[in-house]
Chains A and B, each alone.
Chain A
Amino acid sequence: MGSLQLKSVRKSFGPVDVLKGIDLDVADGEFVIFVGPSGCGKSTLLRIIAGLDDATSGNILIDGAEVGAVPPARRGIAMVFQSYALYPHLSVKDNMGLGLKQAGAPKAEIEARTKKASSMLSLEKYLDRRPAELSGGQRQRVAIGRAIVREPKLFLFDEPLSNLDAALRVNTRLEIARLHRELKATMIYVTHDQVEAMTLADKIVVLDGGVIQQVGSPMELYNKPANLFVAGFIGSPAMNFIDASRLGRSDATTIGIRPEHMALSRESGEWSGRIVHVEHLGADTIVYLDSDKAGLLTVRLFGEHHYEPDEIVHATANAGQLHRFGVDGKVIR
């Protein structure tokens, strides 16, 4: 249980097309992440899956059954929101149990499931508190607990970590990954943060302009981006794009090379240039240089390196790690 199919799902708000035909298959137990810049339609797509918005056209199937006309409560889904969305006047326990209570489940079952979910998230101590008496991280755990209690076919996460600070974000990320392993449930997760996408997903769906740009495992997207958008979006710092004609190449329009796939030398190399800025991060050193031939380049070196601005250095791309893109922005293989 827990598969999802989207068949040419479209959504328009008046004259604006937000989603322009989305086709997607999610298998049972998969962790799928929708990622893209803001306004790409990823949250709208999630809301359509949840049933909070209606698609303008297209079909949504959960476990093979069309759910287009089914209200959210009966789609077998649970959703975790960015703003936690806990009921302020209910205790943690009642927050988690409300969905089951509305569905008419017996008291003992609600009790048992709430207990199980709260022990999974170590929330036992807080069951009688109100949301206002909890910290941000605890509130988000309660929100996740509320989803677990429903034992849904599909978990939907709408940027659940965006309101947490950096340290909590890492912890909660690990927690979500652990839950996915334990529950073996299908999860669909929306984020604009590519680190979350890369670390959590079995499958990443990159969206831009209401269109799926590429679907694949994190490493597929990293190693074999299908087009300029995916190449630029996945990976940090972003891939360098060089106008192929400046390099005297006629087999592509744009050449892409990741910052970590280049070597830097003071003596000799393919592209020489002046260093504009250096960022020392300890584990990495990121060098920005303005080269005559290739324009502004970002080079990521591992470990500590002592370069200074205004030095003249030479960068060389690792052989076999260049990406070639055609006129239409698609990759040439």
Chain B
Amino acid sequence: MSKARTSLSRTAFVHAALIAYTLIAVFPVFLTIINSFKNRNAIFRNPMQVPTPATFDLVGYHTVLGQGDFALYFQNSLIVTIVSIFLVLLFGAMAAFALSEYRFRGNTLMGLYLALGIMIPIRLGTVAILQGMVATGLVNTLTALILVYTAQGLPLAVFILSEFMRTVSDDLKNAGRIDGLSEYSIFFRLVLPLVRPAMATVAVFTMIPIWNDLWFPLILAPGEANKTVTLGSQIFIGQFVTNWNAVLAALSLAILPVLVLYLAFSRQLIRGITSGAVK
């Protein structure tokens, strides 16, 4: 048994599988980045080739940054993503705490109801959401996007965090109660620091779909002042002509902030995923 586990062929197989998966996952990103540094001809003639002195060209980046509004688009995307993550984590953690900590009638039912959103895609409600936003005058604001993304992220957050909060020792919370901490202090000062890995997991799972989303920005906030990066890059994709240099450059730039946020969360993330699996 233990021999089989350490055998060379087995280890090699596992590594081969993991390397293959990594290549498949990283390849599109790699392709996007290398082509963003090439001139138009080189992109089409030799899409797989890394930029050489002859084909190296920053025209894509010049176009993107020269459009001027891209800084604004980035700012919009960051505001929407960060505020949404913050709200999802705050409200998700509070709901999860209530579900895992207090016994009340309909506790399980409430948990299921809050988790239902994982199974029903929020896009099904687009028409109703749009009507609601029109009625409240929120169309073409970042607030509209933040509200929708918060709603979209909450079910998973509540589901994951309530499982985690059940693992926080009751004795610790009770010790806090005896020492005179209020329920809010217990939540913010004892429980939240202990479920930090789970919070990071939720943050990453929430962040990526929000950052990449095209649907809601297109419908709810298409105005120039409120465009997100994903929507902003669309101006380079036309029905007849597509400025591939600019598209690839915009996408390459769009990867950066997510990468930074991911790195910030990833140390916690690994712990979050594995401890979630074991317990």
Cβ–Cβ contact A73 & B172, under 8 A: no
Segment 39-78 of A: residues with Cβ below 8 Å from B: 47, 50-52, 71-74, 77-78
Cβ–Cβ contact B172 & A85, under 8 A: yes
A311–B163 alpha-carbon span in the complex (Å): 59
Cβ–Cβ contact A102 & B171, under 8 A: no
Chain B residues near A103 (CB-CB < 8 A):
180
Taking the complex as formed, is B214 at the interface, i.e. its CB lies under 8 A from any CB of chain A? no
Chain A residues near B177 (CB-CB < 8 A):
51-52, 71-73
A84–B174 alpha-carbon span in the complex (Å): 11
Chain B residues near A150 (CB-CB < 8 A):
179
A51–B180 alpha-carbon span in the complex (Å): 12
A72–B174 alpha-carbon span in the complex (Å): 9
Taking the complex as formed, is B127 at the interface, i.e. its CB lies under 8 A from any CB of chain A? no
Chain B residues near A316 (CB-CB < 8 A):
none
Count of A-B contacts with CB under 8 A? 57
Cβ–Cβ contact A99 & B180, under 8 A: yes
Q: Taking A81-B171, A82-B171, A85-B171 as contacts, is the C-beta distance between A102 and B178 under 8 angstroms?
A: no
A78–B162 alpha-carbon span in the complex (Å): 29
Across the interface, name the chain A residue whose C-beta is closest to B103: A13
A73–B186 alpha-carbon span in the complex (Å): 13
Cβ–Cβ contact A81 & B194, under 8 A: no
Report B173-199 CB contacts with A as 1/0, cut-off 8 Å: 011111111000000001001100000
Across the interface, name the chain A residue whose C-beta is closest to B174: A52
A51–B169 alpha-carbon span in the complex (Å): 18
A85–B171 alpha-carbon span in the complex (Å): 5
- Choose from B174, B180, B181, B190 the contact partner of A79 (Cβ within 8 Å): B174
A102–B189 alpha-carbon span in the complex (Å): 13
Cβ–Cβ contact A73 & B175, under 8 A: no
Chain A residues near B175 (CB-CB < 8 A):
79, 81, 85-87, 146
Cβ–Cβ contact A72 & B171, under 8 A: no
Taking the complex as formed, is A106 at the interface, i.e. its CB lies under 8 A from any CB of chain B? no
Chain B residues near A301 (CB-CB < 8 A):
none
Taking the complex as formed, is A89 at the interface, i.e. its CB lies under 8 A from any CB of chain B? yes
Q: Which of A79, A85, A89, A146 has the most CB of B within 10 A?
A: A85
Taking the complex as formed, is A262 at the interface, i.e. its CB lies under 8 A from any CB of chain B? no
Report B150-178 CB contacts with A as 1/0, cut-off 8 Å: 00000000000000000001011011111
A158–B172 alpha-carbon span in the complex (Å): 13
Q: Taking A52-B174, A88-B194 as contacts, is the C-beta distance between A83 and B169 under 8 angstroms?
A: yes
Cβ–Cβ contact B171 & A83, under 8 A: yes
Chain A residues near B171 (CB-CB < 8 A):
81-85, 158
A78–B172 alpha-carbon span in the complex (Å): 13
With both chains docked as a complex, state the minimum distance between the C-beta of A100 and any C-beta of chain B, in angstroms: 9
With both chains docked as a complex, state the minimum distance between the C-beta of A44 and any C-beta of chain B, in angstroms: 13
Segment 289-311 of A: residues with Cβ below 8 Å from B: none
Across the interface, name the chain B residue whose C-beta is closest to A99: B179
Q: Taking A85-B169, A85-B171, A85-B172 as contacts, is the C-beta distance between A79 and B193 under 8 angstroms?
A: no
Taking the complex as formed, is A211 at the interface, i.e. its CB lies under 8 A from any CB of chain B? no
Q: Taking A82-B171, A85-B172 as contacts, is the C-beta distance between A73 and B178 under 8 angstroms?
A: yes
A–B complex contacts, Cβ < 8 Å, 11 sampled = A79-B174, A79-B175, A79-B178, A81-B175, A83-B172, A84-B171, A86-B175, A87-B172, A87-B175, A98-B181, A102-B179
> With A83-B169, A102-B181, A146-B175 given, can you name 18 additional A-B contacts, CB distance below 8 Å?
A47-B174, A50-B174, A52-B174, A72-B174, A73-B178, A73-B180, A74-B180, A78-B178, A81-B171, A83-B172, A84-B171, A85-B169, A85-B175, A86-B175, A98-B181, A102-B179, A103-B180, A150-B179
Top 8 closest pairs, chain A to chain B, by CB: A73-B180, A102-B180, A85-B171, A99-B179, A81-B171, A85-B175, A85-B172, A83-B171
